[in-house]
Copies of this chain bind each other. A is one copy, B any other.
Amino acid sequence: MSSPKQISLGLSMRYLGYHAAAWRHPSADPDAASKFSHYKYIAQTAEAAKLDMVFLADGIGLRTKDEPPGALRRSHQTLELEPLTLLSALSSVTTHIGLVATASTTYNEPYHIARKWASLDHLSGGRAGWNIVTSWSEAEAHNFNRDQHMEYELRYDRATEFVEVVKGLWDSWEEDAPLFDKASGIFFDQSKLHRLDHQGKHFKVKGPLTIKRTPQGRPILVQAGAANQGMEIAARSADVVYCSFFDMEAARAYYADLKARAAQHGRDPDSLKIMPGITLFIGRTREEAEEKHAQLNALVEPELGLSYLYQQFGDLSAYPVDGPVPEPPDPRIRSMAAKALALARRDNLTIRQLYTKVAAGFGGRVLVGTPKDIVDDMQAWVEGGAADGFNLCPPVLPLGLDDFVELVLPELRARGMFRTEYAGPTLRENLGLTPPKNRYAV
């Protein structure tokens, strides 16, 4: 028997967890999302468990709307800390775990991003990752001098160029440019410091960075968009892809497509790790798992629950919450929620059942079961060519992480699917990726 494929594991730690009622759980400190101690516990627990990385998704504004009215005040998706500062603070209380923060290419400048992530890579000794996203919401546009969000093509065109500029800036200093020769007084070899002199459609950036080449060569690049142009950025540049799929067939098709695109760009497909998100409710028995799931779901008041359907269905307050889901007034269906909706229609769910489904994992895939159930599922996805690992999105933090460590991790290790020790101190080593070559190195 061949040895099983090793999986990569990330942990999403935004808000108080990925369940709409996370903050009401008896174990939860509802103020935790503003507290460093909360994140420190999570990151150190994830590191003790030898996870590859902790991750923070992001939006640059309050994207949660008060629709229907009364929903907003019930949502814990209203308070957080800014990802880059938070992960920098975590860098000095951890030693091995990767630190992946999201930053938008739509409302940033490549010089700032290149500089800040290079700095984090130094501060953490080679554990920084940048999750590349574009900003699509009006709420974000309104915080950055715009009346409307940037349209899709333009946004991705900008993102593509943005990533190239950032990668170029990261090559400013060759590895051996610093000399530090006290005797001669020569601080560095000027022939190994390079200006980018980029002049493109969206950006004009001369460089160089004032930060030397980082421990990982460059930070790890993560991409999280499933749309065509996002996949192209991923295929060309990403080391890790976060995605969200409900069924394995769709995930397999995406996996095969993306790996093939990477190969077309001359890359080893194994150098691109595809990690779907999952929200786990874990019990020693199936009953216990179902009970945990039901306990949280019962804490989603209709006033909040209906907000998760608003975008697709408009205001459903007038319909009986335990009656059938009416036809949407507007055929516009979008992003991850669309997939949840299709499943819900198939299973003939009530309004409450439907919003509960979305609220339980913020629209992502939810698994409820024993450690064996869950690892069977993970193994099937990995061996079936649908995933290289998973991005864990616990329903409640830190509880969901503690459950995973106590119950699921031993089962993964018993099957030889997950490490017991880190391969090294950098995220790149733990992902099994080779260091990038500096474009100027001879």
> How many copies of this kind of chain does the complex include?
2
Query: Is A88 interfacial (CB 8 A cutoff)?
Result: yes
Contact residues, A291-322 vs B (CB, 8 A): 299, 301, 304
Instruction: Report the contact-size class of chain A (Cβ under 8 Å from the partner).
Output: 35 or more
State the Cβ distance, A204 to closest chain B Cβ, in Å.
5
In the complex, identify which listed stretch (A72-80, A363-371, A420-428) lies at the interface while the others stay far away: A72-80
Query: Is A143 interfacial (CB 8 A cutoff)?
Result: yes
Query: Is A186 interfacial (CB 8 A cutoff)?
Result: yes
Q: Are B190 and A73 in contact (CB under 8 A)?
A: yes
Q: Which residues of B contact A211 (CB under 8 A)?
A: 34, 79-82
Q: Are B111 and A144 in contact (CB under 8 A)?
A: yes
Query: Which chain B residue shows the least CB distance to A82?
Result: B119
Query: Which chain B residue shows the least CB distance to A145?
Result: B204
Q: Are B74 and A185 in contact (CB under 8 A)?
A: yes
Contact residues, A46-88 vs B (CB, 8 A): 59-62, 66, 72-76, 78-82, 84-86, 88
Q: Are A34 and B212 in contact (CB under 8 A)?
A: yes
Query: Which chain B residue shows the least CB distance to A59?
Result: B210
Query: Is A152 interfacial (CB 8 A cutoff)?
Result: no
Taken residue by residue from 248 to 284, chain A's Cβ proximity to chain B (1 for < 8 Å, 0 otherwise) reads as 0000000000000000000000000000000000000
Point out residues on A near B: beta carbons under 8 Å: 21, 23-24, 30-31, 34-36, 40, 59-62, 66, 72-76, 78-82, 84-86, 88-93, 107-109, 111-112, 115-116, 118-120, 122-123, 125, 139, 142-147, 178, 180, 182, 185-190, 193, 203-208, 210-212, 299, 301, 304
